[in-house]
């Protein structure tokens, strides 16, 4: 029997640190080489890791008889973020990237900070869950600083539209299958930021507002960056 998982314990903090350290090391390498061959190799490595952890997740749940209607379909927001990210890694797409960017940093980040695992390393659930979530965040960071991808003002509206589409589809699946994808029917059964919110259904409109705020906050650094970069042109025009 493995030790119980400790939220923000040593192992958890190491995973979080590696999530940011690995793309910080790889990004300069991806930018330095000509013809983008190394960048492509790194992107494919991330894509392979994401696909591998997804397969391992299903294998683990089948092996332990955990698989059921509430987890066998790719209907969590992290699943949609993963699909968008794999598409971007294999064949860079602006729309797929911006979906991965906002969904990963606003949604998957929550899974990395408050993971739904019971035991610590080397428990397979710990490895698969945190490796998958950490790789999503790391790959998005690499795409920004290694591949030079970024969101634009129009990205916010597109992501909002796609998020509404996700909410509609997930809610429909929840109603048809009596499950809880997207947490539209109940709060998660482990510690998350939802614990700070009122009971169902009041927390749903609140999470919508939080989602809108997250989109604005995640775009804010790019707005500031563009304003700073435009300052010399404005000064010359003046």
pLDDT digits (tens, 9 = 90+) for 149-199: 999 999 999 999 999 999 999 999 999 999 999 999 998 887 788 888 889
DSSP state of 104: I
- Asked whether residue 232 is domain-assigned, the answer is yes
User: Could you tell me the pLDDT band of residue 1, with boundaries at 50, 70 and 90?
Assistant: low
What pLDDT is stored for residue 33 in this prediction? 61
Residues 6+ apart with CB under 8 A from 146: 23, 26, 27, 28, 29, 30, 31, 39, 42
- Asked whether residue 204 is domain-assigned, the answer is yes
- Asked whether residue 209 is domain-assigned, the answer is yes
- Asked whether residue 1 is domain-assigned, the answer is no
User: Could you tell me the pLDDT band of residue 126, with boundaries at 50, 70 and 90?
Assistant: very high
What pLDDT is stored for residue 220 in this prediction? 95
- Asked whether residue 4 is domain-assigned, the answer is no
- Asked whether residue 14 is domain-assigned, the answer is yes
- Asked whether residue 72 is domain-assigned, the answer is yes
Structurally, how many domains does the chain consist of? 1
- Asked whether residue 50 is domain-assigned, the answer is yes
What pLDDT is stored for residue 145 in this prediction? 93
What is the model's pTM? 0.91
No. of H helices and E strands in the chain?
8, 0
Give residue 146's domain range: 10-237
């Amino acid at each position: 029997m493995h030790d119980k998982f400790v939220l923000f314990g040593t192992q958890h903090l190491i995973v979080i640190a590696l999530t940011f350290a690995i793309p910080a090391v790889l990004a300069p390498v991806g930018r330095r080489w000509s013809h983008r061959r190394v960048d492509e190799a790194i992107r494919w490595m991330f894509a392979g890791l994401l696909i591998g952890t997804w397969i391992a997740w299903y294998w683990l749940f089948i092996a332990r008889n955990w698989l059921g209607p509430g987890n066998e379909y790719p209907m969590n927001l992290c699943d949609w973020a993963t699909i968008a990210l794999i598409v971007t890694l294999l064949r860079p797409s602006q729309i797929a990237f911006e979906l991965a960017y906002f969904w990963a940093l606003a949604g998957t980040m929550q899974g990395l900070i408050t993971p739904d695992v019971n035991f610590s390393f080397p428990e397979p659930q710990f490895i698969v869950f945190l490796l998958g979530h950490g790789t999503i965040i790391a790959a998005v960071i690499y795409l920004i600083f290694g591949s030079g991808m970024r969101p634009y003002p129009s990205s916010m509206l597109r992501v909002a539209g796609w998020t509404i589409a996700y909410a509609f589809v997930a809610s429909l699946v929840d109603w048809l299958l009596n499950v809880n994808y997207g947490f539209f029917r109940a709060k998660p059964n482990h510690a998350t930021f939802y614990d700070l919110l009122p009971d169902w259904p009041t927390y749903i409109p609140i999470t919508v507002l939080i989602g809108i705020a997250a989109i604005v906050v995640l775009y804010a650094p790019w707005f500031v960056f563009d304003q700073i970069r435009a300052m010399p042109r404005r000064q010359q025009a003046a």
